[in-house]
Each structure stands twice: as structure tokens, then as C-alpha cells.
Structure 1
Amino acid sequence: MGVEWVRLKLDLDAFDGARFEPYLRRCRQAGVEFTTMAAVGDAARNRRALYDLNRTCSADIPGRGEFYTFDEYLAQRIETPTYDPRGVVLAVDGGSWVGMAATSIRPEGHAFSEMTGVLAGHRGRGLSLAMKLLAIDYARSAGVRWLRTLHHPGNAPAIGMNRRLGFVDDAPPTAMA
């Protein structure tokens, strides 16, 4: 029997992020900067750095399995019509990339939170939540109403963070008849 993934969605029209702004302020006061792939340059070496960061952050996700090869990552995550370097938020601490949140705008008319991750040594500082707020801003700027995500049921920290932000259960997509 397969895993029953936890599907969540956030109504961007109803979302009020003001109560979460202290997370962004606290991270910035601690010296963490936030930027995007578009701002740092969507170049080959930055794509490799993003891949390395994503692979490392993904290593302890329950049920993740083998991570993509670099070529597979490029083909399935970067060189696709839904990839936008403005939708990849980076947390930078002391000049090093320590976290990332990738969001895409889907042709079905919603945004999708592909991955939010922080290197193990930098967790517990609110970076994931801060990056997710910036990802929400990106999704809103695209004019979509819903931000969707899915998680392995064993990934309680990610599920909890999303629920704290106001994500609710989302029904699985239905097949078109």
C-alpha cells in the first residue's frame, strides 16, 4: 500500500501575513539575508549550488528516497515551463546559502510550494517560515488564489509550519472524465 500524502492549500486572498512579520525581522536582525535566484543570477554555477542545497536539505525528508542526479534535477525542476528564478527564495547567512524555498506557478491556475528546506545546523531559527512568507508574496504577485503543497505524513515539522500559516487540507486532484 502506498503512502497517503498530506495535501495542503492556502487561500492567498484570505492570508494575513502581518502576524508572521516578526519572523522575517528576527532573521534579518540575526544577519540572515533573503534573496532569489533571479537576484543572484540564474547561471550554471548558481543552479549547481541550488541543487547541492536542495539535495542536502532533502536528505532527511521521510520517504524522500534517492535524490535526483544533477541532470535529472535540471530537467525536472529547472528546465521546465513552470520554473521561475523569482520563485526561488534563498536564505543567506554569512555569505553562504543555508535555506531555500522553491515555488512554481502551475498551468492549472495555482502556485505550488515545491520545496522549503534549511540546512540542519541553521534550523530552529524561523528561517523556513520566513522564506515561506516570501514565497507567499511571490505567489500573490502572480495573481493566483491558492498555494498548494504536499508532504510525506512523517514530515511533521513541515506540516506543522504550513498549518500554522493557515494551510488546510486539500482534496487530491480528480481525473477528468
Structure 2
Amino acid sequence: MVDWVRLKLDADGFDETEFVPYLDRARASGVDFTTMTELDDRLALYELNKTCSADIPERGEFFTYDEYVANRIEVPSFRADGVVLALRDGRWIGMTMTGLYPGKDTAFTEMTGVLAEERGRGLSLALKVLSIRFVRASGFRWLRTFHHPRNFSAIGMNRRLGFVDD
């Protein structure tokens, strides 16, 4: 049984100053950011999520498209404006999906991922900054996530942003 690493961030206390340069560099390199509100393409989101999820330790088989829609999109926590997308020349290269759980007074990062060939440039950090902005704008204080303990890069990125053990 996996002992997941559970993390939380106080979005109200998050100081993005250190991380805004990642947004600036991404944009300067030709990356555009948008949301599913603007690009309502469920199949493209599914394909990107599936590809990025392949590197998660012990992930197992990914959802079918119909399962994905039923379990990730057609649920009360889903918000199209909470799915931030990174595009280069119109190609979807990165994503973060944040769900809102009003009854629990928390937001939850369902997935953050970047295509392998685009990694190592701080794009995940840029996406997470935009996600944290979404959480704040939605009136939520806590952003939570969890990771497989061997997903060192995701855990490290979140800790760098200020996430602590939950």
C-alpha cells in the first residue's frame, strides 16, 4: 500500500514574487496560457492528462475517455476556469487542473503535468502560480494535493512553492 505524500498550501499567504519570472520566461519563449473556459476541448485535455500521467509512479492504467469525463469533468468540483493550459504554437504542452470543494473549504490540484520535451524550464511552477491565483480568486484559502512518494519532482516543486505536510 502506498503512503501518499499529502501537502497543503495557504493560498492567502502565498507570495508569488519569486515565481512570476517563470511566467515571464515561459511567455517570452512562446508559451501562451489559457483555460478550458476558452478552449473547451475535452478530448485534448484527456490526451494531455493521459500523456503527462504516464510518468507517475505506480499510476496504473489511465482512465478511458468516458471514465475521465465522468470522474474528472462531469463532477461538482470541476471548473473550466480551474484548468490552466500551456500552449506553444497552438499545441497543448502543459496543464494544471484545480477542483473546488466548497463543503470542505478547500481547492485540490487534481493534476499538474508538462510534456516531457517541455520539462526543465519552470513551466510547472508557472502553471501552479496561475492555479494559486485561481484558488484565491475563487475565495478559497487552502490548496491541497497528494503525490506518490517517489514522484520526487512534483513533491519538490510543491515544497518549493511553500506547500507543507497536510
Q: Does 1:115 align with 2:111?
A: yes
Aligned to 2:81: 86
Aligned to 1:63: 58
Q: Secondary structure at the match of 2:3?
A: coil
- In the alignment, the residues of structure 1 paired with residue 11 and residue 76 of structure 2 have an alpha-carbon distance, to the nearest angstrom, of 22
| Deviations 1:147-166, CA, capped at 9 Å, x for gaps | 00000000000000000000
RMSD between superposed Cα atoms in Å: 0.6
**Superposed displacement of residue 19, structure 1:** 1.3
- In the alignment, the residues of structure 2 paired with residue 19 and residue 125 of structure 1 have an alpha-carbon distance, to the nearest angstrom, of 15
Q: Write the letter of the residue equivalent to 1:166.
A: G
Larger Rg: 1
- In the alignment, the residues of structure 1 paired with residue 162 and residue 78 of structure 2 have an alpha-carbon distance, to the nearest angstrom, of 25
Q: Does 1:22 align with 2:21?
A: yes
**Superposed displacement of residue 49, structure 1:** 0.5
Aligned to 1:145: 141
Q: Write the letter of the residue equivalent to 1:126.
A: G
- In the alignment, the residues of structure 1 paired with residue 60 and residue 94 of structure 2 have an alpha-carbon distance, to the nearest angstrom, of 20
- In the alignment, the residues of structure 2 paired with residue 97 and residue 14 of structure 1 have an alpha-carbon distance, to the nearest angstrom, of 31
Q: Secondary structure at the match of 1:160?
A: helix
**Superposed displacement of residue 61, structure 1:** 0.6
| Deviations 1:118-149, CA, capped at 9 Å, x for gaps | 01111111111100000000001111110000
Aligned to 1:9: 8
Aligned to 2:123: 127
What TM-score does the superposition give when structure 2 sets the normalisation length?
A: 0.98
- In the alignment, the residues of structure 2 paired with residue 63 and residue 138 of structure 1 have an alpha-carbon distance, to the nearest angstrom, of 30
- In the alignment, the residues of structure 1 paired with residue 89 and residue 66 of structure 2 have an alpha-carbon distance, to the nearest angstrom, of 29
Q: Percent of pairs identical after alignment?
A: 63
Q: Does 1:38 align with 2:37?
A: yes
Aligned to 1:157: 153
What TM-score does the superposition give when structure 1 sets the normalisation length?
A: 0.92
In the alignment, structure 2 segments of 5+ residues that lack a partner are: none
| Deviations 1:53-96, CA, capped at 9 Å, x for gaps | 00000001101111000000000000001111000000001110
Q: Write the letter of the residue equivalent to 1:155.
A: N
Q: Write the letter of the residue equivalent to 2:75.
A: T
Aligned to 1:54: 49
